[in-house]
Structure 1
Amino acid sequence: MRRYGEPRLEGQSYRARPGAYAILPKNGRLLLTYQAGIHNEFQLPGGGIDPGESPVTALHREVFEETGWRIAQPRFLGAFRRFVFMPEYDLWAEKICHIYRAHPVRKLAEPPEEDHSVHWASPEQAMVSLGNPGDRAFLQRVF
Protein backbone atom coordinates (compact mmCIF):
# COMPACT_ATOMS: atom_id res chain seq x y z
CA MET A 1 0.00 0.00 0.00
CA ARG A 2 1.35 3.40 -0.97
CA ARG A 3 2.47 5.78 1.77
CA TYR A 4 1.99 9.55 1.61
CA GLY A 5 3.59 12.08 3.92
CA GLU A 6 6.31 11.46 6.46
CA PRO A 7 8.02 8.07 6.69
CA ARG A 8 7.81 5.89 9.79
CA LEU A 9 10.12 7.25 12.50
CA GLU A 10 12.74 4.73 13.53
CA GLY A 11 12.17 3.47 17.06
CA GLN A 12 8.65 4.93 17.26
CA SER A 13 5.82 2.45 17.71
CA TYR A 14 2.57 3.16 15.87
CA ARG A 15 -0.96 1.92 16.39
CA ALA A 16 -2.97 0.98 13.30
CA ARG A 17 -5.85 3.42 12.86
CA PRO A 18 -8.07 2.49 9.88
CA GLY A 19 -10.40 5.18 8.58
CA ALA A 20 -12.85 5.84 5.75
CA TYR A 21 -12.94 9.14 3.83
CA ALA A 22 -15.08 10.48 0.99
CA ILE A 23 -14.64 12.51 -2.16
CA LEU A 24 -18.07 14.13 -2.47
CA PRO A 25 -18.71 15.93 -5.79
CA LYS A 26 -21.96 17.82 -6.48
CA ASN A 27 -22.65 20.29 -9.29
CA GLY A 28 -18.96 20.74 -10.14
CA ARG A 29 -17.92 21.38 -6.54
CA LEU A 30 -16.65 19.22 -3.67
CA LEU A 31 -17.94 18.96 -0.13
CA LEU A 32 -15.00 19.38 2.27
CA THR A 33 -14.75 19.77 6.01
CA TYR A 34 -12.56 22.24 7.81
CA GLN A 35 -11.32 21.05 11.18
CA ALA A 36 -10.43 23.96 13.44
CA GLY A 37 -8.76 23.63 16.83
CA ILE A 38 -5.68 21.42 16.87
CA HIS A 39 -5.53 20.75 13.12
CA ASN A 40 -6.74 23.89 11.34
CA GLU A 41 -6.94 22.24 7.93
CA PHE A 42 -9.29 21.27 5.13
CA GLN A 43 -9.94 17.53 4.93
CA LEU A 44 -11.96 14.99 3.05
CA PRO A 45 -14.91 14.18 5.32
CA GLY A 46 -14.42 10.93 7.19
CA GLY A 47 -12.58 9.39 10.08
CA GLY A 48 -11.81 6.36 12.17
CA ILE A 49 -13.48 2.99 11.77
CA ASP A 50 -14.68 1.77 15.16
CA PRO A 51 -14.00 -1.86 16.23
CA GLY A 52 -16.60 -4.15 14.65
CA GLU A 53 -17.76 -1.43 12.24
CA SER A 54 -17.51 -1.84 8.45
CA PRO A 55 -15.68 0.84 6.45
CA VAL A 56 -18.90 1.84 4.65
CA THR A 57 -20.85 2.16 7.90
CA ALA A 58 -18.02 4.27 9.34
CA LEU A 59 -18.00 6.40 6.19
CA HIS A 60 -21.71 7.23 6.50
CA ARG A 61 -21.36 7.97 10.24
CA GLU A 62 -18.22 10.08 9.95
CA VAL A 63 -19.44 12.12 6.96
CA PHE A 64 -22.61 12.95 8.87
CA GLU A 65 -20.69 13.84 12.06
CA GLU A 66 -18.31 16.16 10.21
CA THR A 67 -20.72 17.71 7.67
CA GLY A 68 -24.34 17.03 8.66
CA TRP A 69 -24.89 15.49 5.21
CA ARG A 70 -26.23 12.08 4.21
CA ILE A 71 -24.46 10.33 1.34
CA ALA A 72 -25.35 7.60 -1.15
CA GLN A 73 -23.67 5.09 -3.45
CA PRO A 74 -20.16 5.00 -1.95
CA ARG A 75 -17.67 3.42 -4.34
CA PHE A 76 -14.27 2.28 -3.06
CA LEU A 77 -11.36 3.92 -4.91
CA GLY A 78 -8.36 2.59 -2.98
CA ALA A 79 -6.31 3.08 0.16
CA PHE A 80 -3.10 4.65 1.38
CA ARG A 81 -1.22 4.94 4.65
CA ARG A 82 0.16 7.86 6.64
CA PHE A 83 2.37 7.89 9.73
CA VAL A 84 1.26 10.74 12.00
CA PHE A 85 0.99 11.91 15.56
CA MET A 86 -2.65 12.46 16.56
CA PRO A 87 -2.53 15.01 19.40
CA GLU A 88 -6.25 14.70 20.17
CA TYR A 89 -5.61 11.05 21.16
CA ASP A 90 -1.95 11.44 22.27
CA LEU A 91 -1.25 8.66 19.76
CA TRP A 92 1.34 7.84 17.12
CA ALA A 93 -0.77 6.28 14.38
CA GLU A 94 -0.37 4.41 11.16
CA LYS A 95 -3.49 5.78 9.51
CA ILE A 96 -4.85 3.40 6.89
CA CYS A 97 -7.08 5.62 4.79
CA HIS A 98 -9.83 3.95 2.73
CA ILE A 99 -11.00 6.42 0.08
CA TYR A 100 -14.48 6.37 -1.47
CA ARG A 101 -16.35 8.47 -3.97
CA ALA A 102 -19.97 9.07 -2.98
CA HIS A 103 -22.89 11.38 -3.68
CA PRO A 104 -23.88 14.00 -1.11
CA VAL A 105 -27.66 13.61 -1.05
CA ARG A 106 -29.09 15.92 1.57
CA LYS A 107 -28.02 18.21 4.38
CA LEU A 108 -29.78 17.14 7.56
CA ALA A 109 -28.05 19.32 10.15
CA GLU A 110 -25.07 21.45 10.95
CA PRO A 111 -21.96 19.32 11.65
CA PRO A 112 -22.55 17.62 15.03
CA GLU A 113 -18.80 17.23 15.59
CA GLU A 114 -17.18 20.16 17.36
CA ASP A 115 -14.70 22.34 15.43
CA HIS A 116 -15.90 21.11 11.99
CA SER A 117 -17.45 23.30 9.30
CA VAL A 118 -18.67 22.55 5.77
CA HIS A 119 -17.12 24.12 2.70
CA TRP A 120 -17.82 23.72 -1.01
CA ALA A 121 -14.79 24.04 -3.26
CA SER A 122 -13.97 23.61 -6.91
CA PRO A 123 -11.68 20.65 -7.63
CA GLU A 124 -8.87 23.15 -8.24
CA GLN A 125 -9.47 24.88 -4.90
CA ALA A 126 -9.62 21.52 -3.13
CA MET A 127 -6.29 20.45 -4.63
CA VAL A 128 -4.50 23.38 -3.02
CA SER A 129 -6.56 23.37 0.20
CA LEU A 130 -6.53 19.73 1.33
CA GLY A 131 -4.12 19.16 4.19
CA ASN A 132 -2.53 15.87 3.18
CA PRO A 133 -0.92 14.61 -0.03
CA GLY A 134 -2.80 11.29 -0.02
CA ASP A 135 -6.16 13.08 -0.21
CA ARG A 136 -4.83 15.27 -3.04
CA ALA A 137 -3.53 12.23 -4.96
CA PHE A 138 -6.92 10.52 -4.88
CA LEU A 139 -8.70 13.73 -5.78
CA GLN A 140 -6.38 14.13 -8.78
CA ARG A 141 -7.26 10.57 -9.91
CA VAL A 142 -10.99 11.38 -9.77
CA PHE A 143 -10.67 14.70 -11.64
Structure 2
Amino acid sequence: MQRFGAPRRSDISYTRRPGAYAVLVRDGQMLMTFQAEPEPEFQLPGGGIDAGETPVQALHREVYEETGWTISTPRRIGTYKRFVYMPDYDLWAEKICMIYLARPIRPLGPPTEESHTAIWVPLPAAPAIMDNDGDRAFVQQVIDRL
Protein backbone atom coordinates (compact mmCIF):
# COMPACT_ATOMS: atom_id res chain seq x y z
CA MET A 1 0.00 0.00 0.00
CA GLN A 2 1.34 3.41 -0.92
CA ARG A 3 2.24 5.77 1.92
CA PHE A 4 2.01 9.56 1.85
CA GLY A 5 3.49 11.98 4.36
CA ALA A 6 5.88 11.25 7.17
CA PRO A 7 7.20 7.71 7.67
CA ARG A 8 6.31 5.60 10.71
CA ARG A 9 8.31 6.70 13.74
CA SER A 10 9.76 3.93 15.91
CA ASP A 11 9.28 5.95 19.10
CA ILE A 12 5.48 6.20 18.67
CA SER A 13 2.76 3.61 19.13
CA TYR A 14 0.17 4.17 16.40
CA THR A 15 -3.51 3.20 16.45
CA ARG A 16 -4.72 1.75 13.15
CA ARG A 17 -7.62 3.92 11.94
CA PRO A 18 -9.39 2.91 8.73
CA GLY A 19 -11.45 5.60 7.02
CA ALA A 20 -13.44 6.26 3.86
CA TYR A 21 -13.08 9.47 1.84
CA ALA A 22 -14.81 10.76 -1.29
CA VAL A 23 -13.76 12.58 -4.43
CA LEU A 24 -17.08 14.23 -5.31
CA VAL A 25 -17.30 15.52 -8.88
CA ARG A 26 -20.27 17.20 -10.54
CA ASP A 27 -20.44 19.55 -13.53
CA GLY A 28 -16.69 20.18 -13.61
CA GLN A 29 -16.54 21.04 -9.93
CA MET A 30 -15.50 19.19 -6.81
CA LEU A 31 -17.30 19.26 -3.46
CA MET A 32 -14.77 19.51 -0.64
CA THR A 33 -14.86 20.29 3.04
CA PHE A 34 -12.96 23.04 4.80
CA GLN A 35 -12.18 22.11 8.39
CA ALA A 36 -11.42 25.23 10.43
CA GLU A 37 -10.14 23.49 13.58
CA PRO A 38 -7.93 22.15 15.04
CA GLU A 39 -5.87 23.24 12.02
CA PRO A 40 -7.47 24.95 9.02
CA GLU A 41 -7.35 22.68 5.97
CA PHE A 42 -9.17 21.75 2.77
CA GLN A 43 -9.97 18.03 2.67
CA LEU A 44 -11.83 15.27 0.94
CA PRO A 45 -15.03 14.67 2.89
CA GLY A 46 -14.80 11.50 4.91
CA GLY A 47 -13.47 10.00 8.08
CA GLY A 48 -13.19 7.05 10.37
CA ILE A 49 -15.23 3.88 10.02
CA ASP A 50 -17.21 3.25 13.21
CA ALA A 51 -17.64 -0.20 14.74
CA GLY A 52 -20.30 -2.14 12.85
CA GLU A 53 -20.11 0.07 9.74
CA THR A 54 -18.94 -0.89 6.28
CA PRO A 55 -16.64 1.56 4.49
CA VAL A 56 -19.50 2.61 2.19
CA GLN A 57 -21.87 3.20 5.12
CA ALA A 58 -19.19 5.32 6.80
CA LEU A 59 -18.62 7.21 3.55
CA HIS A 60 -22.31 8.16 3.26
CA ARG A 61 -22.43 9.22 6.93
CA GLU A 62 -19.19 11.20 6.85
CA VAL A 63 -19.97 13.00 3.59
CA TYR A 64 -23.34 14.05 5.00
CA GLU A 65 -21.82 15.18 8.31
CA GLU A 66 -19.06 17.21 6.65
CA THR A 67 -20.94 18.63 3.64
CA GLY A 68 -24.68 18.20 4.21
CA TRP A 69 -24.94 16.38 0.85
CA THR A 70 -26.12 12.91 -0.11
CA ILE A 71 -24.10 10.88 -2.62
CA SER A 72 -24.63 8.02 -5.04
CA THR A 73 -22.64 5.37 -6.89
CA PRO A 74 -19.50 5.33 -4.75
CA ARG A 75 -16.72 3.36 -6.43
CA ARG A 76 -13.46 2.63 -4.65
CA ILE A 77 -10.49 3.94 -6.61
CA GLY A 78 -7.66 3.15 -4.21
CA THR A 79 -6.20 3.11 -0.72
CA TYR A 80 -3.20 4.70 0.91
CA LYS A 81 -1.82 5.12 4.42
CA ARG A 82 -0.34 7.94 6.39
CA PHE A 83 1.04 8.34 9.89
CA VAL A 84 -0.31 11.40 11.67
CA TYR A 85 -1.12 12.93 15.01
CA MET A 86 -4.85 13.63 15.39
CA PRO A 87 -5.10 16.45 17.95
CA ASP A 88 -8.90 16.32 18.14
CA TYR A 89 -8.56 12.71 19.44
CA ASP A 90 -5.13 13.11 21.12
CA LEU A 91 -4.07 10.09 19.08
CA TRP A 92 -1.17 9.02 16.90
CA ALA A 93 -2.80 7.17 14.01
CA GLU A 94 -1.87 4.91 11.15
CA LYS A 95 -4.66 6.12 8.89
CA ILE A 96 -5.77 3.67 6.21
CA CYS A 97 -7.53 5.95 3.71
CA MET A 98 -9.94 4.25 1.32
CA ILE A 99 -10.73 6.66 -1.50
CA TYR A 100 -14.01 6.54 -3.44
CA LEU A 101 -15.24 8.41 -6.48
CA ALA A 102 -18.90 9.33 -6.00
CA ARG A 103 -21.51 11.73 -7.30
CA PRO A 104 -22.99 14.38 -5.01
CA ILE A 105 -26.78 14.21 -5.41
CA ARG A 106 -28.43 16.86 -3.26
CA PRO A 107 -27.89 18.99 -0.19
CA LEU A 108 -30.05 18.20 2.83
CA GLY A 109 -28.76 21.13 4.87
CA PRO A 110 -25.53 22.53 6.24
CA PRO A 111 -22.78 20.26 7.56
CA THR A 112 -23.64 18.78 10.94
CA GLU A 113 -20.02 18.38 12.00
CA GLU A 114 -18.65 21.35 13.89
CA SER A 115 -15.93 23.44 12.20
CA HIS A 116 -16.74 22.05 8.69
CA THR A 117 -17.89 24.05 5.68
CA ALA A 118 -18.84 22.56 2.32
CA ILE A 119 -17.20 24.29 -0.63
CA TRP A 120 -17.34 23.83 -4.40
CA VAL A 121 -14.05 24.23 -6.26
CA PRO A 122 -13.40 24.03 -10.01
CA LEU A 123 -11.99 20.52 -10.44
CA PRO A 124 -8.65 21.61 -12.01
CA ALA A 125 -8.00 23.96 -9.05
CA ALA A 126 -8.75 21.40 -6.30
CA PRO A 127 -5.33 19.72 -5.96
CA ALA A 128 -3.57 23.05 -5.38
CA ILE A 129 -5.59 23.88 -2.25
CA MET A 130 -5.61 20.42 -0.67
CA ASP A 131 -3.52 20.02 2.45
CA ASN A 132 -2.98 16.25 2.27
CA ASP A 133 -0.56 14.77 -0.30
CA GLY A 134 -2.49 11.48 -0.51
CA ASP A 135 -5.82 13.16 -1.18
CA ARG A 136 -4.13 15.45 -3.71
CA ALA A 137 -2.66 12.47 -5.58
CA PHE A 138 -6.03 10.72 -5.89
CA VAL A 139 -7.80 13.91 -7.00
CA GLN A 140 -5.12 14.42 -9.64
CA GLN A 141 -5.64 10.81 -10.75
CA VAL A 142 -9.36 11.54 -11.25
CA ILE A 143 -8.59 14.72 -13.18
CA ASP A 144 -6.12 12.87 -15.42
CA ARG A 145 -8.75 10.22 -16.24
CA LEU A 146 -11.42 12.74 -17.21
Q: TM-score, normalised by structure 2?
A: 0.96
| C-alpha distance in structure 1 between counterparts of 2:140 and 2:92, whole Å | 28
Q: Please list every run of 5 or more consecutive structure 1 residues that lacks an aligned counterpart in the other structure.
A: none
2:95 maps to amino acid? K
Where do 1:102-113 residues align within 5 Å? 102-113=102-113
How many residues are aligned here?
Answer: 143
| C-alpha distance in structure 2 between counterparts of 1:101 and 1:29, whole Å | 13
Q: Percent identity?
A: 57
Where do 1:8-19 residues align within 5 Å? 8-19=8-19
Corresponding residue of 2:119: 119
| C-alpha distance in structure 1 between counterparts of 2:49 and 2:124, whole Å | 29
Structure 1 segments, 4+ long, off by >3 Å, are none
After superposition, the CA RMSD in angstroms is 0.6
Q: Please list every run of 5 or more consecutive structure 2 residues that lacks an aligned counterpart in the other structure.
A: none
Helix, strand or coil: the match of 1:120? strand
| C-alpha distance in structure 1 between counterparts of 2:59 and 2:22, whole Å | 7
1:56-94 CA-partner distances (Å, limit 9, x unpaired) = 000000000000000000000010000000000000000
| C-alpha distance in structure 2 between counterparts of 1:17 and 1:63, whole Å | 17
| C-alpha distance in structure 1 between counterparts of 2:100 and 2:54, whole Å | 13
Where do 1:40-119 residues align within 5 Å? 40-119=40-119
Helix, strand or coil: the match of 1:24? strand
Q: TM-score, normalised by structure 1?
A: 0.98
